[in-house]
Amino acid sequence: MGRIVYVNGEYVPEEEARVSVFDRGFLFADGVYEVTSVIGGRLVDFDGHARRLWRSLGELDMAAPVDGDELLAIHRELVVRNGLDEGLVYLQVTRGPADRDFAYPDGARPTLVLFTQEKRIVDSPAAERGIAVISIPDRRWGRRDIKTVQLLYPSMGKMMAKAAGVDDAWMVEDGAVTEGTSNNAYIVTAGKIVTRHLGEEILHGITRAAVLRFAREAQMEVEERAFTLDEAKAADEAFVTSASTFVTPVVEIDGVAVGSGAPGPVARRLREIYLDESVKAAV
């Protein structure tokens, strides 16, 4: 049986869901999105994702189609209607349909689409064994802090990783690692957790914010700064975070084993804490 998806105020079978061919999300990638994980039928860090959505919309002068209460109600209704226990809710807002014109149209009605995706995210083989990555140049646009749907370069990066027989790619700019194709990147070196500082060069991960908070609460030292690929290859541990992978160890970079070449204690501990705390606070 197909899913029930949400489109502009209606819950419809997925095969009946429709968006206009004139939608600016389709024509210009003029849209933003969020991915929220679901564990035990409840939403992980919903408030964080909602806050980032408002920020993305604000940066693009795009109208919010619903308020925060309604957004939560739609997420919950969709989880219930699809009987989703574990997986993700994908949300996308676009500027809406309008005659094709580069300038933003006046008075377009935003398009709001949400759907669920079942996925085993807690017991993950990738988290157990750790993932291998290659490095690639970061060729994305300059406002990576806005979570837009223009994901072609990250898709190309995944394909480069696939062609190289590994799991993912870390992107490098001016000699420093920015982030993974769809996750934030970290190393553990000299007893500290190091991850790139916030700015326009990376997405401000919601999982990142939570993991850094938990790490500090557990008296682990955190340094938010750029790090190089060489530093990463020589690090004791490396890992990535995202809503769909939580904390996942990286055990190989460009064919070089990181640390022992197996998931390390810091990444394992952070994954445990993150899962415990997130499940407790899920709504």
Please give the single-letter amino acid code of residue 232. Answer: A
For ligand PDD, give the closer residue by CB, 16 or 200. Answer: 200
| Contact between 36 and ligand PDD per CB under 6 A | no
User: From the list 82, 116, 189, 244, which residue makes contact with ligand PDD (rule: CB under 6 A)?
Assistant: 244
31 binds ligand PDD (CB under 6 A): no
* 3-state secondary structure at position 45: coil
Nearest distance, CB of residue 205 and ligand PDD, angstroms:
3
> Is residue 184 at the binding interface for ligand PDD, with CB under 6 A as the rule?
yes
Residue 173 CA: distances (Å) to CA of 8, 128, 238: 39, 29, 18
Size of the site for ligand PDD (CB under 6 A): 14
Beta bridge partners of 118: 87
Q: How far is the CB of 146 from ligand PDD (least distance, A)?
A: 11
Q: Using CB under 6 A, which of 195, 207, 248, 278 touches ligand PDD?
A: 207
Is 196 a binder of ligand PDD (CB under 6 A)? no
**According to the binding rule CB under 6 A, does residue 206 interact with ligand PDD?**
yes
Residue of 116, 183, 189, 278 interacting with ligand PDD (CB under 6 A): 183
Q: Quick one: which of 83, 95, 77, 80 has its CA closest to 26? A: 95
The answer to the question of residue 167 lying near ligand PDD (CB under 6 A) is no
Out of 23, 168, 179, 201, name the contact with ligand PDD by CB under 6 A.
179
From the candidates 119, 147, 162, 280, which is the catalytic residue?
147
Token pair in block for residue 239: 């890992």
Going from the C-alpha of 230 to that of each of 82, 227, 233, 253, the distances in angstroms are 46, 8, 5, 10
- Calculated CA dihedral for residues 221, 273, 199, 159, nearest 10 degrees: 120
264 binds ligand PDD (CB under 6 A): no
| Catalytic status, residue 192 | no
Letter string b/e over residues 25-60, b meaning 16 or more CB atoms within 10 A of that residue's CB: bbbbebbbbbbbbbbeebbbbbebbbebbeebbeeb
The span from the CA of 283 to the CA of 149, in Å, is 26
The rounded distance, in Å, linking the Cα atoms of 72 and 57 is 17
Minimal distance, residue 45 CB to ligand PDD, in Å: 8
241 forms part of the interface with ligand PDD (CB under 6 A): yes
* Residues lying near ligand PDD in the complex (CB under 6 A): 35, 179, 182-184, 203, 205-208, 241-244
Q: Which residues are catalytic?
A: 147
